[in-house]
Amino acid sequence: MVAPQDALLAQMRRGTLQYCVLALLAEDERYGFDLVRGLAEMDGMVTSEGTIYPLLSRLRRDGLVETTWQESRAGPPRRYYRLTEAGRAALEGFRLEWRRFRDAVDHFVERTARS
Amino acid sequence: MKSTADKLVDEYLDRLNRELAGFPRARRRELVDEISGHIAEARADLETENEAAMRTLLDRLGDPADIAAEARERPAAPRAKASGWDVVALILLLIGGVIFPREADRDADRPVRPCSADLPANDRDIGRILFRRRGHRDHLHRQRAPW
């Protein structure tokens, strides 16, 4: 059985993870493994690393990211993911919505916070 | 002879392939390629490669069934292709008023605003409602939507 806290985190992650991916790619293009490790640096963002790949595939099919193959000195060529203009716009749209949403939730839950 | 690590990776990728059996070939191959690339990168990062390290690495990747579930659960965003309802909504929005003119459009003495007496709502309104519903679904994509 899944603890309620875990289920809540999973739901919140579900809604926001793709925008964290877009935000990481807004800084610089990255290949899959590098991107996954970047996300995993923050505790709680990724539980199963492999599930990032279907997400990346969907972002690509939606035109929010594009990919290029680049040679690697360490081994075979790597597929790099890069933000498109549509991806940048989607990230900016989310950022505005997120601030509003975060402020709204804070408005209610923080006013009775004891710490 | 294959090492235990190689066998574990093969097993993992076989399971992933089986879990993705229902997907179009190109998508299955994309996912399997990406994940086997990930495994290769992660392996190269290991200080010492032994069975425990490989099992930990594959555990971090997650159950192939979860990866397949993720691929199934998130279809393309609505923006990417118009659904049947979107097409119906668009057509009715454009020409619904011509096909099903309101009484008010024909009779200038009656108020133009729809009121309960006009029910059932004509199809041009249904087109608007469908578009609003779509707009709601696309909440986060609104920035890019032309309407």
Measured from the Cβ of residue A73, the count of other Cβ atoms closer than 10 Å reads: 4
- Cβ B67 vs Cβ A56: under 8 Å: no
Predicted confidence at residue B144, as pLDDT, reads 42
Predicted confidence at residue A36, as pLDDT, reads 95
CB contact under 8 A, A75 and B41: yes
- d(CA B114, CA B116) in angstroms, rounded, equals 7
| pLDDT, mean of residues B116-123 | 50
Range name among A43-52, A85-94, B22-31 with the lowest pLDDT average: A43-52
Predicted confidence at residue B81, as pLDDT, reads 47
| pLDDT, mean of residues B22-37 | 95
pLDDT digits (tens, 9 = 90+) for A13-48: 888 999 999 999 999 999 999 999 999 888 888 889
Predicted confidence at residue A112, as pLDDT, reads 86
Whether pTM exceeds 0.80: no
Structure tokens at A52: 């990032």
Range name among B33-37, B80-84, B143-147 with the lowest pLDDT average: B143-147
pLDDT band at A82 (very low <50, low <70, confident <90, very high): very high
Percent of chain A beyond pLDDT 70?
97
Query: Of A61, A74, A90, which has the smallest distance from its Cβ to B44's Cβ?
Result: A74
Query: Of B38, B64, B74, which has the smallest distance from its Cβ to A55's Cβ?
Result: B74
| pLDDT, mean of residues B26-35 | 96
Mean predicted lDDT score pLDDT of chain B: 73
| pLDDT, mean of residues B80-89 | 56
* DSSP character string of A86-106: HHHHHHHHHHHHHHHHHHHHH
Q: What is the ipTM of this complex?
A: 0.88
- Neighboring chain A residues of B41 at a CB cutoff of 8 Å: 33, 74-75
CB contact under 8 A, A76 and B37: yes
B128, pLDDT greater than 90: no
Predicted confidence at residue B138, as pLDDT, reads 46
**Of B98, B86, B87, nearest to B123 (Cα)?**
B98
Question: In sequence order, which residues have a C-beta less than 8 Å from that of residue B5 and are 6 or more positions away?
Answer: B43, B49, B50, B51, B54
Task: Bin A39: left if φ > 0, else alpha if -120 < ψ < 50, else beta.
Answer: alpha
B47, pLDDT greater than 60: yes
B78, pLDDT greater than 80: no
Q: Is A54 on the interface with B (CB under 8 A)?
A: yes
